[in-house]
Amino acid sequence: MGIMCTLIPLPLYMRNAMANRSRLFVWIFFLFLSFFVGFMLAAIQVPRDLFYLFIMIYNAGLLYVYHRFHRQQQSKILLFLKELPAYAQLNLIVSTLLMLVIFEQELFYSFNVLLTAVLYMAMVFVYNTKAYQFVFIALFAYVSVH
């Protein structure tokens, strides 16, 4: 049910975002896309640890899409690419907080927090900003302590 409720409106949100050049619909599209990925993973009943690992892989995929296409000036995806850095950061923060609260196995927990730290370091290079280094250092130190 969740898959259908997130997949069916995705094209509508995309069309509204492009037709109206609306950042609101871009964010709604990204949120529904993330919910769709989450519901898909839940539907195939992966364990919790793998669920969050795949969410981190999804976040890495968002980074890759931005890195690959941000220099192209195609009008159709440019609106989405402008909002992707802020959304990817929000998505990483939410995913990391969920991992901190829900995980039970220390090995997967540490690995996924370390993977999140690596993604933040990748954001330093992809988005050409140094602000994410502090998050990387904090997460890396947190994993080292645990």
Does residue 120 sit within a domain?
no
E strand or H helix at 44: none
Does residue 45 sit within a domain?
yes
| pLDDT band per the 50, 70, 90 thresholds, residue 15 | very high
Segment 30-81, tens digit of pLDDT: 988 988 888 888 888 888 778 878 888 998 898 888 888 878 776 678 888 8
Segment 24-40, tens digit of pLDDT: 899 899 988 988 888 88
Distance in angstroms (rounded) separating the CA atoms of residues 69 and 92:
20
Which of 143, 101, 102, 145 minimizes the C-alpha distance to 120? Answer: 143
Do residues 55 and 112 make contact, with C-beta atoms less than 8 angstroms apart? no
CA distances from 104 to 18, 21, 62, 85, 100 (A): 42, 43, 27, 30, 9
Burial label for 38, CB within 10 Å (0-12, 13-18, 19+), is buried
Question: How many structural domains does the chain have?
Answer: 1
Does residue 118 sit within a domain?
no
Distance in angstroms (rounded) separating the CA atoms of residues 130 and 3:
37
Does residue 144 sit within a domain?
no
Does residue 99 sit within a domain?
yes
The boundaries of the domain holding residue 12 are 2-103
Does residue 84 sit within a domain?
yes
Residue 144 structure tokens: 């080292």
Does residue 127 sit within a domain?
no
Does residue 122 sit within a domain?
no
Query: What residue ranges in the chain does DSSP mark as E strands?
Result: none
Between residues 146 and 115, which one has the greater pLDDT? 115
